[in-house]
Amino acid sequence: MSQSNPATVKHDTLFDKPFTTPLDKAARFSFDEQVVACFPDMIRRSVPGYGQVLAMLPIFARRHCKYRQQSDSSQRVSRIYDLGCSLGAASMALAGEFDPQDLQIKAIDISPAMTTEAVTLLSDNYPEHDIEVMTADIRDVKFEPCDMVILNLTLQFLPVADRVAVLEKIYAALSEGGILVLTEKTHAFDEQYDAWLVERYYDFKRANGYTEMEISGKRNALENVLITDTLDEHHARLDQVGFARHLTWFQFLNFVSIVAFK
């Protein structure tokens, strides 16, 4: 089994330059071939804490999925969903830390450009792992029983009205003792705090080499595509779908990650 670091596996990364001319500013953001080509570079430079969150996924999986294997005399394989998998970075982070026989990963994304590339990356790097990549809308997927679900920066792209239904399906599919890891961009309820967080987020992007035109182009393209909730709204929704315990385990500016326990 290949033991590559997920941050350095075979991504032929093009530099992220999708919003560099004034006309590009009008483009609505979509996960097409142009985005796929520069995606690993874009997400690392524009999501604070992206690498740290990915690195913790196998650590969480080891605690929660291993427990399930030991408590089950049939030694069944742990099943993990990676929803909105893009190029499969979360699946790769997991595969890199588990033996092939211990995990079954189901990676799903609505964008065929993403899943086509994810299949290549995952099969090149982890040919022996049981990783199924599916092109589907997670709102339509019927989930099988599972031990861990990863929603890494994906729920924010669903219409707000559809979020509860997806979380309800996830809750129903999770085994007792299983976890959901929900990572999202958020906004603060307080306008002044929000303004501070957003400004410091743009400073973060500037420090990572983005120009003013790229920052404003991306902001316009994501308008009405990426719709953030507040942290309180996320926790209220998790309560609503039945998770009795959920904890914000990570926050970096306006990006948060929550673990919800079933």
Residues in contact with ligand GEK by the rule CB under 6 A: 31, 43, 84-86, 89-90, 108-111, 114, 137-139, 152-154, 157-158
Three-class DSSP category at 74: coil
What's the closest the beta carbon of residue 76 comes to ligand GEK, in angstroms? 26
Nearer to ligand GEK, 108 or 174 (CB): 108
Nearer to ligand GEK, 141 or 188 (CB): 141
What's the closest the beta carbon of residue 249 comes to ligand GEK, in angstroms? 16
Nearer to ligand GEK, 114 or 170 (CB): 114
Identity at 57, one-letter amino acid code = L
Q: What share of the chain is helix, strand, coil (3-state, %, to 5)?
A: 45, 20, 35
H or E stretch covering 50: helix 50-70
What is the per-residue burial (b if ≥16 Cβ within 10 Å, else e) of 222-258?
A: beeeebbbebebbbebbeebebeebeeebeebbbbbb
C-beta nearest to ligand GEK: residue: 84
What's the closest the beta carbon of residue 105 comes to ligand GEK, in angstroms? 13
**How far is Cα 60 from Cα 69, in angstroms, rounded to an integer?**
14
What's the closest the beta carbon of residue 242 comes to ligand GEK, in angstroms? 22
Nearer to ligand GEK, 213 or 226 (CB): 226
Nearer to ligand GEK, 182 or 241 (CB): 182
**Residues 82, 181 contacting (CB under 8 angstroms):** no
What's the closest the beta carbon of residue 37 comes to ligand GEK, in angstroms? 13
